[in-house]
Amino acid sequence: MLDGDTRERTLGGVPKPLRRLGFLTIGLFDEDAPARGHESTLEVIALGERLGFDSAWVRHRHLQFGISSPVAVLAAATQRTSRIHLGTAVTPLGWENPLRLAEDLATVDILSGGRLNPGVSVGPPMRYDEVKHALYPDTADVEDFTYERVSRLLRLVRGEPATGFSGNQGFEVFSDRVQPHSPGLGSRMWYGGASLRSAEWAGEQGMNFLTSSVVKTDGESADFAAIQLSHVRAFRERHPEGRVSQGLVVIPTDRATADQRARYADYAAKRLPRTREPQGPARMLFSPDYVGTSDELAERLHAHAAFAEIDEVAFALPFTFEHEDYVQILTDMAERLGPALGWQPNMP
């Protein structure tokens, strides 16, 4: 059920135009031929720039057959693009040393000319009991996976001292803060959160907020859009100038072949049961995937309570499709769906 303000904006008046259009990819690859999958990801990002997308985002997948080092992939992408913003959605900090990550992020931001948008999250690494002895052989039981891990990263990225020493020691010159320092990077840090508390915390830290196709229910409600809307509003109450990006799975079919349309519909149908009620002990609620023509998708999105209050998206590409599918989806997204949502491509 839409509240009065949202109903007026989506049904009774002109919908709010979409200002920034982005996409998210997982970068799958074949274990026996990983180069091709990584090359496909770079080609997709370059295509996104040619189509006028504002941003391209990549996920992390550790000990799986997806991008395990987005920072390295995005460093390569900086050399194939010149305008499109590049982000991670998201980097799970449980796998990272904040000081080393701050150095890597600043380096890639410098290489990109200030186009990096790092998204992060916290919590123990997935399947931690099985990986902790390889990841943290000496400190597994005392590692801090709370918000403080993000705070450490933020302080380092924003140029606060990492050490009490700076100056010369013999022929060596030392800095007391992370080098290189990229002054604008601190304002382009994002937190990927699924809970109300994460949305509030991100706003309190002056971060931007990534909300995706999964949210954590904070009660008995199973209304995904209403829950997501509450998170967006809670974030903005604490950080009115902060950016919010929504990451639903959206698949336009305008130029799709009959085979592609059938596979896309089958993909969404297989994932639909998990959207009907909260899942697992954490009561995570998933959004249905959006599949259809751009006109159909625009109508459905304009009726989505949370979408009506944001002007920036990073639509998620399905994980298991072929390169040619991504080309079709991105082309339709940029040339048909984006304009139907009021978006204008970012062209030179």
Q: Is 100 a member of any domain?
A: yes
Q: Is 10 a member of any domain?
A: yes
Q: Is 217 a member of any domain?
A: yes
Phi, psi of 91 (to 5 degrees): -90, 115
Q: Is 40 a member of any domain?
A: yes
Find the domain containing 188 and state its range. 4-340
Distance, CA of 338 to CA of 342 (rounded, Å):
6
The pair of three-digit structure tokens given for residue 220, joined into one six-digit string: 């008995």
Report the domain count for the chain: 1
The reported pLDDT for the residue numbered 10 is: 46
Q: Is 68 a member of any domain?
A: yes
Residues 259-278 pLDDT 10s: 999 999 999 999 999 999 99
Residues 201-248 pLDDT 10s: 999 999 999 999 999 997 767 899 999 999 999 999 999 999 999 999
The reported pLDDT for the residue numbered 266 is: 98
Q: Is 128 a member of any domain?
A: yes
Residues 305-341 pLDDT 10s: 999 999 999 999 998 999 999 999 999 999 999 999 9
Report the CATH number at residue 327: 3.20.20.30
The reported pLDDT for the residue numbered 2 is: 41
Q: Is 107 a member of any domain?
A: yes
Would you call 93 helix, strand, or coil by DSSP? Answer: helix
Query: Per mean pLDDT, which range of 52-66, 101-115, 206-220, 261-275 is the poorest?
Result: 206-220
Nearest to 98, CA basis, from 25, 27, 175, 189: 189
